Chain A
Amino acid sequence: MSDDFDRLRRLRPDRLQPHDPMDPKVLTEEKERLMSAIEQSAGAVHATSRTPSIYPRLAYRDVMAALEFLTRAFGFRERREARLEHPAGTLAWLEVGDGVVMIGESGPDHHDLYSPAEVGRTTGMVNVYVHDVDAHHARAVAEGARVVMGLEDMFWGDRRYEALDPEGHRWHFGERLADIELRSGRRR
């Protein structure tokens, strides 16, 4: 009975070629490819989840300038198809990962919301998880964002920095330290 399977066992290729090369580079390279595919597909999945439960609206004096800055410096994607260019004021939707932020004109006709540039104080902060916070920080600095708290590993498990946009809205960008470890293959 087992004779048939014994033959088969002897035909197992690595029994015949124990030195059949097992190239460790293959495992590393395939991992890199896999992880970049995962990042892309994660982005794609998020892009299709169109309606997050919470989406803040921020007020700007100059919505178009804000739009330009937020996409260039912070890497947000605008939902171009959603933009409303109304004579009374432009409304735009920006997304990052699975989150969405609305931006619109400030003033009494616009929900009585004001820009920090008008009131002289900031009354909120938008927290954003990003992929590769170090690269995000470098880009924001290069594009002229005002960093008000530098990059730092925090005790609650995030690495984060905080920056102001041109009108003074405060943004908090972070990444889970565990994700950074996974990404870089480091172990604590």
Chain B
Amino acid sequence: MEPSSDSEIIERSLAEPAAFASLYDRHAAVVYRFLVRRIGPSAADGLLGETFRIAFERRASFDREHESARPWLYGIASRVLAHHRRSEARRLRATAALAASRETPLDLPQRTAASLDARELWPRVADAIAGLPAGERDALLLHVWEDLPYEEIAAALGIPIGTVRSRLNRARRRLRELTAPSGEETLTPSAARRGKIES
């Protein structure tokens, strides 16, 4: 079969639903890895199918100006993840614990008395991410974990590029505040958010 663009496959699948299979073949592994990063392997299994079922149902609304369906699929997966904030927070904390256990003092050369040691820092980073508003967390993780360019993040989340920038800036600011080595008061909002996630 001659190679066709994602957009052509989606167009074909409107009349021939089975054609949607090749969209899955192209992107399922990437979407699956993304879901695993965000909520871990066992929860990701089910969400992979859910993401593609939603994509299939909404395929008529795919903007066929776009060649690649990847940002669109990232966007659907992000919205699916929004219903699983607790699993995501748990996953982040587990990952942070792993990071803390791996990090030796040698990894932090400019460590001073005032800086947080790894055991404190990583859980704070995890809580900070988990506590971000969904829109900011989605933009942030598409940027730093998936390496999507700004315009693809914008396409994924259905927002203007300017909003991607401002969300990333806000996320950056919050992360800096919440993981600042000094200032016990910064722990309070983090703890409050953590409580909310777990409720």
Decide whether A and B assemble into one complex.
yes
Which residues of chain B in 36-82 are interfacial with respect to chain A, using CB atoms and an 8 Å cutoff? 36-37, 40-41, 45, 48-49, 52-53, 56-57
State the main secondary structure of chain A at its contact with B: helix
Size of interface on B: residues with Cβ below 8 Å to A? 45
> Do residues A4 and B145 form an inter-chain contact, with CB atoms below 8 A?
no
> Do residues A182 and B28 form an inter-chain contact, with CB atoms below 8 A?
no
**Cβ of B149 < 8 Å from any Cβ of A?**
no
Which residues of chain B in 11-33 are interfacial with respect to chain A, using CB atoms and an 8 Å cutoff? 16-22, 24-25, 28-29, 32-33
Q: How far is the CB of A180 from chain B (nearest CB, A)?
A: 9
Q: How far is the CB of A46 from chain B (nearest CB, A)?
A: 10
> Do residues B36 and A8 form an inter-chain contact, with CB atoms below 8 A?
no
Interface string of B104-143 (1 = CB under 8 A from A): 0000000000000000011001100100000000001001
Which residues of chain A in 3-34 are interfacial with respect to chain B, using CB atoms and an 8 Å cutoff? 4-5, 7-14, 16-17, 20-23, 26-27, 30-31, 33-34
> Do residues A12 and B129 form an inter-chain contact, with CB atoms below 8 A?
no
Q: Which of B90-98, B150-158, B159-167, B182-190 lies on the face that meets chain A?
A: B90-98
Q: How far is the CB of B11 from chain A (nearest CB, A)?
A: 14
Q: Which of B1, B56, B57, B175 contacts A8 (CB 8 A)?
A: B175
Contact-residue bracket for chain A: 35 or more
> Do residues B122 and A37 form an inter-chain contact, with CB atoms below 8 A?
no
Q: Residue among A1, A9, A11, A27 with the most chain B CB within 10 A? A: A11
> Do residues A30 and B17 form an inter-chain contact, with CB atoms below 8 A?
no
State the main secondary structure of chain B at its contact with A: helix
Q: Which 3 A-B pairs have the closest CB atoms?
A: A42-B17, A30-B49, A4-B175
Known: A4-B179, A183-B18, A185-B21. 15 other contacts (CB 8 A): A5-B143, A7-B125, A10-B99, A11-B99, A17-B98, A26-B48, A27-B28, A30-B49, A34-B56, A38-B53, A39-B17, A41-B56, A179-B16, A179-B19, A187-B1
Binding site for A on B (CB under 8 A): 1, 16-22, 24-25, 28-29, 32-33, 36-37, 40-41, 45, 48-49, 52-53, 56-57, 91-92, 95-96, 98-99, 102, 121-122, 125-126, 129, 140, 143-145, 172, 175-176, 179
Binding site for B on A (CB under 8 A): 1, 4-5, 7-14, 16-17, 20-23, 26-27, 30-31, 33-35, 37-39, 41-42, 131, 176, 178-179, 181-183, 185, 187-188
